[in-house]
C-alpha cells in the first residue's frame, strides 16, 4: 500500500513559525514520497470558537495560502476541508464507544489547553473530546505517518489506542499511525511562553510583512534579569537565541553573539536585529510565493475544492469498509 501522510491545522488564524518547524517543513520534504492529505480542521476549530464561526471561511483560505506559500505542491498534496467530509463525524461517533471518560480526562494537552482557554460556561463536550474526532481524521485517510508538533503526541497515542481496539473488535480495517516530530518539536512564543500558538497571539506569522516581523522581533521577551547591555546575559531558554538556533543558518554568527551576550558585550537590539535579518531571508521567498497565489484566488479555491473532493472519496471508501466490518452495512431489501 502507498505510504500516506495525514496531518492538519486548525483555521484559527494564519500559520506561524511554529507550524513551519513543527510540521510544515516535514510535509514539504515528504510530499514526493508520501501520498499526502492535509486537513484544514474547521470542525475542531469550532470546538473553542463556536460562538464566532464567522471567521472560519477566511481563515481556511489563509491557511491554504500558507501551505502553497511554503511549497506544498497542489499537484501532489490534497488540501481537505474537514467539515466538507461529513463521514468524519460518523466515524467519530463510532469511535466514541471505544474511549472511556477517564482516558479523555487524562489527556495532558487537552488539560493544558482547557486551562489556557478559561471556558466561562464549563468545558464544551466537543472540545474535551476532540482527540476522538482527531483520531477519526487520521484513520479515515488510512494514514501511517502524521507530522506534528510535540503537543500533538497524546492525540496520536489516542488514535493508536482506538485503532488497536477497533481492529481487535471488528477486524483489521484501520492503520495504526506514527507521529513524526519536526526539527523543533515545540517552538516557544515571542513572549517566552512554552509554545507559539495562534490562540495565545505570541506568534510571528509566515505572511507577516517585514515591518510587522521587525516589530514582533524587537518586542520579544529576552533575559528578564538583564537591564543593561553590559550585564552578562543568559542564552539558555532565551527565545531570541532559540530562534537564532532554528532560523539563522550562520552558526559562526550565532556563536559570536552568544559569547558576547554571556559576557555582557552586546545589546539586545543588535541580537534582535540580526535575528530579524535571518528571519527575513527565510520569510522573503515564502512571502513572494504567497503573493503569487493570492493574486489568483480562483485557482486557490479550485485547489481546495479538488483536494476536498479527493479526500472525501477516500473517506467514503474507508467508511464502507468500516460499516461492513462493524456489521452495520445493512441492506434491507
Q: Under the rule (CB under 6 A), what is the footprint of ligand ATP?
A: 9-10, 12, 18-19, 22-23, 148-149, 151-152, 186-187, 195-199
Closest to ligand ATP by CB, 12 vs 222, is 12
Provide φ and ψ at 277, rounded to 5°: -65, -40
Using CB positions, name the residue nearest to ligand ATP: 22
Specify the residue, 7 or 308, whose C-beta has the smaller distance to ligand ATP.
Answer: 7
Closest CB 138 distance from ligand ATP, rounded Å: 11
* Contact between 38 and 77 (Cβ < 8 Å): yes
153-170 and 130-140 are packed helices; what angle lies between their axes, rounded to 10 degrees? 70
Question: At its nearest, how many Å lie between ligand ATP and the CB of residue 155?
Answer: 9
* Grid cell listed for 206: 509566515
Nearest approach in angstroms of CB 6 to ligand ATP is: 11
CB of 281 to ligand ATP, least distance (A): 20
Determine the angle formed by the axes of helices 268-294 and 297-325, rounding to 10 degrees: 80
Residues 149, 163: Cα–Cα separation, whole Å: 21
- Minimum distance from CB of 265 to ligand ATP (Å)? 31
Q: Are strands 145-148 and 77-81 parallel, antiparallel or unpaired?
A: unpaired
Q: Between residues 186 and 260, which has the closer beta carbon with respect to ligand ATP?
A: 186
Q: Three cell numbers at 29?
A: 520534504
For residue 77, the cross-strand partners are: 36
Cα distance between residue 307 and residue 55, in whole Å: 21
C-alpha cell at 155: 492525540
Q: Which residues pair with 81 in a beta bridge?
A: 40
CB-nearer residue toward ligand ATP: 9 or 223: 9
Pull the grid cell for residue 68: 502553497
Q: How far apart are CB 254 and ligand ATP at their closest, in Å?
A: 20
Instruction: Name the residue nearer to ligand ATP (CB basis): 167 or 242.
Output: 242
d(CA 257, CA 148): 31
Nearer to ligand ATP, 45 or 319 (CB): 45
Amino acid at each position: 500500500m502507498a505510504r500516506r501522510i495525514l496531518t492538519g491545522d486548525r483555521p484559527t488564524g494564519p500559520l506561524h513559525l511554529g507550524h513551519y518547524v513543527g510540521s510544515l517543513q516535514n510535509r514539504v520534504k515528504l510530499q514526493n514520497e508520501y501520498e499526502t492529505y492535509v486537513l484544514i480542521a474547521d470542525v475542531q476549530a469550532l470546538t473553542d470558537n463556536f460562538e464566532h464561526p464567522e471567521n472560519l471561511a477566511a481563515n481556511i483560505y489563509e491557511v491554504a495560502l500558507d501551505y502553497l506559500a511554503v511549497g506544498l505542491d497542489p499537484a501532489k498534496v490534497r488540501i481537505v476541508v474537514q467539515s466538507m467530509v461529513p463521514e468524519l463525524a460518523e466515524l467519530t461517533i463510532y469511535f466514541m464507544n471505544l474511549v472511556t471518560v477517564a482516558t479523555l480526562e487524562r489527556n495532558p494537552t487537552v488539560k493544558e489547553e482547557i486551562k489556557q482557554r478559561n471556558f466561562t460556561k464549563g468545558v464544551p463536550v466537543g472540545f474535551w473530546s476532540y482527540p476522538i474526532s482527531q483520531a477519526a481524521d487520521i484513520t479515515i485517510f488510512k494514514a501511517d505517518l502524521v507530522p506534528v508538533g510535540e503537543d500533538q503526541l497524546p492525540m496520536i497515542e489516542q488514535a493508536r489506542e482506538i485503532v488497536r481496539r477497533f481492529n481487535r473488535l471488528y477486524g483489521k480495517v484501520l492503520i495504526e499511525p506514527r507521529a513524526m516530530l519536526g526539527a523543533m518539536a515545540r517552538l516557544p512564543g515571542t513572549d517566552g511562553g512554552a509554545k507559539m500558538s495562534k490562540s495565545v497571539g505570541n506568534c510571528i506569522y509566515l505572511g507577516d510583512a517585514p515591518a510587522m516581523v521587525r516589530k514582533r522581533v524587537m518586542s520579544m521577551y529576552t533575559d528578564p534579569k538583564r537591564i543593561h547591555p553590559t550585564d552578562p546575559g543568559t542564552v539558555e531558554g532565551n527565545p531570541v537565541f532559540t530562534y537564532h538556533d532554528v532560523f539563522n543558518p550562520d552558526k559562526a554568527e550565532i556563536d559570536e553573539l552568544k559569547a558576547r551576550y554571556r559576557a555582557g558585550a552586546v545589546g539586545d537590539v543588535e541580537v534582535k536585529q540580526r535575528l530579524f535579518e535571518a528571519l527575513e531571508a527565510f520569510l522573503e521567498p515564502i512571502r513572494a510565493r504567497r503573493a503569487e497565489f493570492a493574486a489568483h484566488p480562483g485557482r486557490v479555491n479550485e485547489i481546495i475544492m479538488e483536494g476536498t473532493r479527493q479526500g472525501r472519496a477516500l473517506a467514503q471508501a474507508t467508511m464502507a469498509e468500516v460499516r461492513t466490518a462493524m456489521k452495520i452495512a445493512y441492506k434491507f431489501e
